[in-house]
Structure 1
Amino acid sequence: MFTLQNIDPKDYRQRTRKSSLILIVVFASLGMGLSSLLVIIWGTPGGNHFRLNLLGVLLGLAITFLLVKMVFSQQPFMREAVYGWHLKRNLMRVTNKMHSIKTLAATDQAEALKLLHFYHQALEQMHRLEGDDTALLELKVEKLATEQKMQQLGMETNLNYLDPSWLQALAELEV
């Protein structure tokens, strides 16, 4: 289950910039260091070292990826970036089913309305975190319409999470 967190957009942008800079430095250091090491070990004086340099950069990329996956993602400096990745991934899960969600929401199907409500909240948060306020006005109208429909049906509108069972129920209704 993915839950929306209350994160200050200014802090989010500052911390994601910091984590991005750290990852860039790690990748650049590994790529250049491994390229140089490979040239020292297997290079020939005056020879073409393009393949060794490319291999060093690719190894640096692979090691950086593994470090992010296994070590950095659990570090405090990466918390906001990891949250942003999860937010976007869960938004994409809902977006991929949006045609079905809107169709079923029009027929007052509960899980579809919950998914639509989560989508609006998550999209609004993503736009705020990334400083994109222009899309918020258009989103507010849709969000309010969904909330009003949920209230008319006696449904809870203070949902700040995505329950995977909603997507499962939607998949069962599509079959």
Structure 2
Amino acid sequence: MQLIKISKARYRSHLRYVFIACIALLAIGSLVISQTLIAFFPNEDGSHFHWNLSGVMLTSIFIAWCLNKSRQHPFMLEVVYVWELKQALNKITRKMHNIKKSAKKGDVNALTALQFSYAGSRLLWELDDNAIVMDELAIEQLALDTLMQKYQLSIDPNNYTQSMLDAF
């Protein structure tokens, strides 16, 4: 996965529209479906929980289908990229303990995964204005830079591939 610089304003604007559309679709769709089901299949007890739940579930499935179908649309470029970046970083984070141990031994794949993780995290945190943990990230990056100097390596985070994690 390549790290690309994206516009914070454009990303936030598009993400806001996607969230608002999903919330509106969920509210309207679940009400329409559940009320239709209640009209066709009324319950004498007055409890329509299962029809309401069915409406929410069917609408959620429809929203997921719509989001999946619109992944390639230019409007969704930043939103999908950030979502995929978060998934890639989560996969690294789950194996971070083993990656750090291997990095201390000079494993190039581990060092590349760490470099990608730190650069990707910095990109995400800048998009979200999350400055709280930037100092911790700078400390981790300095430790990684020290390791790369020790092993005389220069690592580009864009060389990272998910298959590098298979060894950990």
**TM-score interval, normalised by the smaller of the two chains:** 0.7 to 0.9
> Offset at 1:77?
2.8
Aligned equivalent of 2:49: 50
Aligned equivalent of 1:110: 108
**Residues of 2 paired with 1:134 and 1:9: CA distance?**
18
The answer (yes or no) to whether the contact 1:151–1:157 under 8 Å persists in 2 is no
The answer (yes or no) to whether the contact 1:19–1:77 under 8 Å persists in 2 is no
**Residues of 1 paired with 2:95 and 2:31: CA distance?**
43
Aligned equivalent of 1:87: 85
Residues 1-40 of structure 1: matches in 2 within 5 Å?
2-40=1-39
> Partner amino acid for 1:26?
L
Q: After superposition, what is the alpha-carbon deviation per residue over 1:78-130, rounded to whole angstroms, capped at 9, x for unaligned?
A: 22221121111100111111111111111111111111111111111111111
Moved over 4 A (4+): none
> Offset at 1:3?
1.3
**Residues of 2 paired with 1:84 and 1:65: CA distance?**
17
TM-score (norm 1): 0.84
The answer (yes or no) to whether the contact 2:148–2:154 under 8 Å persists in 1 is yes
The aligned length equals 168
> Partner amino acid for 2:126?
R
**Residues of 1 paired with 2:121 and 2:87: CA distance?**
11
Aligned equivalent of 2:139: 141
Identity between Structure 1 and Structure 2 (%): 30
> Partner amino acid for 2:58?
L
Point out where structure 2 has 5 or more consecutive residues left out of the alignment: none
The answer (yes or no) to whether the contact 1:147–1:157 under 8 Å persists in 2 is no
> Offset at 1:51?
2.5
Residues 64-103 of structure 1: matches in 2 within 5 Å?
64-69=63-68, 71-103=69-101
Q: Closer, same or farther in 2 for the Cα pair 1:13/1:101, shift >3 Å?
A: same
**Residues of 2 paired with 1:133 and 1:167: CA distance?**
28
Aligned CA RMSD, in angstroms, stands at 2.1
The answer (yes or no) to whether the contact 1:120–1:139 under 8 Å persists in 2 is yes
Query: In the alignment, is residue 157 of structure 1 matched against residue 155 of structure 2?
Result: yes
> Partner amino acid for 1:88?
K
TM-score (norm 2): 0.87
